[in-house]
Amino acid sequence: MVTDKVILELGKKAKLMRINILKMLTKAGSGHTGGSLSAVELLVSLYFYKMRHNPADPKWEERDKFVLSKGHAAPAFYSVLALSGYFPIEELMNLRKLGSILRGHPFSAVTPGVEVSTGSLGQGLSMAGGMAIAGKLDKKNTRVYAILGDGECQEGQIWESAMSCAHYKLDNLCVLIDRNGFQIDGPIMKIMEVEPFAQKWKAFGWEVFEVDGHNLREITDALDSAEKVRGRPSVIIAETIKGKGVSFIENENRFHGTTPTKEELEKALKEIGADE
């Protein structure tokens, strides 16, 4: 059981992450705001609670590994890496600039802490599966985590991988799905329904957990439970709100692929309580 104090600390990290995400996106002038803000609590729970990792030694042999399959949430990923200490916080302000280590979508060759390259949707789960197989081959106790988008699950490759991860009994793999209900063209249920979602994963042989994706206690509990599952991979379907944390960005799909203006940033930071 996670203590209240830990939950409180995680909450503070989540707030810092939102502030950084909004600032870096506004500075960059392009990028994905909504889907970055919806994944904050998932990333905080992984990097500051569950995962064994060492920011001073990103290639530490005994580390747990992470894949951001929904690569467009790179600002959230970079923000959690910077807060963890993989690179200086100031670097975030170079997002998407020529020569920066922070490209528009995660690129393993240039960013410390990024294991594989993503951005083209549907490919991260396969890579996470490969990493989990490698962990089994090397008889390591380490785990592999991946965050997927719900819209991303329209890709056929996700289900190819879902099948093979269960077939190879990858119980060292835990997937978190940022179920914010939107994709770039609109609500998922209107564009291409993915429901019955939990049933699909169950049918593919996965252990399924369903949580409130902004409730740190529910997420951390599910991560702990997933670690105890044997013989099959786990998926945590996290109900989230796209743009979570800023009233005028929440569920406003205009912010899928656009960034706040300077005025909107100020308003948003005030609402989050950036000065408090």
Partner 1 sequence: MSKESSLKKFYGTREAYGETLVKLGRINRDIVVLDADLSGSTKTSMFAKEFPDRFFNMGVAEQNLIGTAAGLAASGKTVFVSTFAVFLTGRAWEQVRQSVSFPKQNVKLVSSHGGITVGPDGASHQSTEDISLMRTLANMKVVIPADAYEVKKVVEYAANFKGPIYIRCSRDKFPVLFDEDYVFELGKGKILRDGKDATIFACGIMVSASLEAASVLEQEGIDVRVVNMSSLKPIDEDLIIRSADDTGAIITAEEHSIIGGLGSAVAEILGENRPTPMIRVGIKDRFGMSGSSEDLLREYGLTATNLVNSAKKVLEKKGERVKA
**How do beta strands 186-187 and 182-183 pair?**
antiparallel
Q: How far is the CB of 32 from partner 1 (least distance, A)?
A: 17
Rounded least distance, CB 58 to partner 1, Å: 13
Interface residue with partner 1 among 163, 189, 192, 203 (CB under 8 A) is 163
Among residues 54, 94, 100, 160, the one that binds partner 1 under rule CB under 8 A: 160
Asked if 172 touches partner 1 (CB under 8 A), the answer is no
| Candidate segments 26-34, 49-57, 111-119, 208-216, binder of partner 1 by CB under 8 A | 111-119
CA–CA dist 155, 206 (Å, integer) = 18
Whose CA is closest to 68, among 57, 58, 81?
81
Cα separation of 110 and 102, whole Å? 8
Say whether residue 156 binds partner 1 (CB under 8 A).
Answer: yes
| Collapsed DSSP state (helix, strand, coil) of residue 181 | coil
Report the residue number, 27 or 140, with the smaller CB distance to partner 1.
140
128 binds partner 1 (CB under 8 A): yes
Contact between residue 147 and residue 43 where contact means Cβ atoms under 8 Å apart: yes
Residue entry with tokens 């951005």: 119
Start-end of H helices in the chain: 4-28, 34-37, 40-45, 74-84, 124-137, 156-167, 188-191, 197-203, 216-228, 262-272
Helix (H) / strand (E) element for 30: namely none
- Contact between 120 and partner 1 per CB under 8 A: yes
Residues 26 and 263: beta-carbon distance below 8 Å: no
Residues in contact with partner 1, shown as a per-residue x/- string from 68 to 107 under the rule CB under 8 A: ---------------------------------------x
Q: Kindly tell me which residue out of 2, 154, 168, 267 binds partner 1, with binding defined by CB under 8 A.
A: 168
Q: Per CB under 8 A, does 117 bind partner 1? A: yes
Q: Which is nearer to partner 1, 98 or 109 (CB)?
A: 109
**Distance between CA atoms of 8 and 47, rounded to whole angstroms?**
15
Q: According to CB under 8 A, which residues from 20 to 79 bind partner 1?
A: 65, 67
Residue placing its CB nearer to partner 1 in the complex, 27 or 136: 136
In the complex, which residues of this chain contact partner 1 (CB under 8 A)?
A: 65, 67, 107-109, 115-120, 122-135, 137-138, 156-157, 160-161, 163-164, 167-168
